[in-house]
Amino acid sequence: MLAVLRALASFLPTLFRSRASLQMEILALRHQLAVYQRRPVRPRLRASDRLLWSWISRVWTRWQDALVIVQPRTVVAWQRRRFHDHWRRLSRPGRPPVSPEIRHLIRRMSAANTLWGAPRIVGELRKIGIDIAKSTVERYMVRGSRKGSPTWKSFLKNHARDLVSVDFFVVPTVRCRVLFVFLVLATDRRNVLHYNVTEHPTSDWTSRQVLQAFPWDTAPRYLLRDRDTIFGASFRQTARSLEMKEILTAHRCPWQNPYVERLIGSIRQECLDHVIVFGEDHLRPILAGYFRYYHRWRTHLSLEMDAPDRRPVQGRSLGDVIQMPEVGGLHHHYERQAA
């Protein structure tokens, strides 16, 4: 506003000056503006500057000839903005704003219940004392790529109690041979139900491993596996005889079998990467020692920092903390023991 007042104050003396003096001043000012235009930095205009030029554009017909620092269409946009803001202030206010807590709740409800539409969320919100319009819920709810279809992650979580995952991984030996380790993992508590090692896996051998893993009608409802050719006709027939429904992952998508893939990564990083394997008879006790540690002592983030075999919490009253080696000293477990 101070710049506008200065401009008006400098305008009044020009009414009493000669025409030649005014022309020389205009020439000097235009030259300075031309030099100013060479600078790449844009000027910062305030609301008072926009108001002055809006007024000049209404009272002077040749205002565009004197305009240098901005485009004429910018001044017209300023005037339209003033008109819009003026009538917006005079008009009645619209809908009340939705608080961030309600917006977050709508997103959380829509993400957790992929089968729900906006009317269902509106009804659920009303039951907890939040009266909100359906259009508002549609604006803030999370929309999936395929409405009404649960994600792969949701499927695994919903069927964790009735789902096991199977997979192979390879272990090289000191004699440059390759051993195949077969795993059967229960996804509910991450328990390794069965494992075995062989140098020459076949479909019949894999079928026998499934039979050994689930004797006496203990087979789960779903079996998750990849599309490896080792799971041949004999394996599929065995799964049908145990009344298990096979769930196949997509081609080259190991992330769709995340639980057993994560277990294989843990076995490598926490055990096999630190030992040299001589053969099958050497690998089996190594895996047995690791799985004992894995089931009884290793905590899991997905199990709320508990072990697969439910490790109890020991209070301070039970004694001092002692350290016990596991997996040949690669890991240790800690427990309290009275002195």
* Average confidence score pLDDT of the chain: 83
> Cα–Cα distance between 273 and 143 in angstroms, integer?
43
Q: Identify the band that residue 221 occupies on the pLDDT scale cut at 50, 70 and 90.
A: very high
What is d(CA 300, CA 293) in angstroms, rounded to the nearest whole number?
12
Please give the C-alpha separations between residue 311 and each of 299, 300, 306, 334, in angstroms, as whole numbers.
8, 11, 6, 11
Number of H helices, E strands in the chain: 13, 7
Q: What is the pLDDT of residues 270-301, one digit of tens each?
A: 999 999 999 999 999 999 999 999 999 999 98
Residue 131 neighbours by CB distance under 10 Å: 7
Taking the model in full, what pTM does it have? 0.58
Mean pLDDT value of segment 157-182: 92
Q: Residue 242: its pLDDT value, please?
A: 93
Of 220, 102, 237, the C-alpha closest to 164 is 220
Who's near 173: CB < 8 A, 6+ residues apart? 179, 277, 278, 279, 283
Q: What are the pLDDT digits (tens) for 314-329?
A: 887 888 888 889 998 8
Q: Is residue 43 very low, low, confident or very high in pLDDT (cuts 50, 70, 90)?
A: low
The answer for residues whose C-beta is within 8 angstroms of residue 162's C-beta and 6 or more apart is 220, 221, 222
Do 57 and 63 meet the contact criterion of CB atoms below 8 Å apart?
A: yes
Architecture of domain 155-303 in CATH? 2-Layer Sandwich (3.30)
Per-domain residue ranges of the chain:
2-90, 100-149, 155-303
Place of tokens 């209404």: 58
Backbone φ and ψ for 186, nearest 5 degrees, come out as -85, 120
CA distance 169 to 179: 8
* pLDDT value of position 265: 95
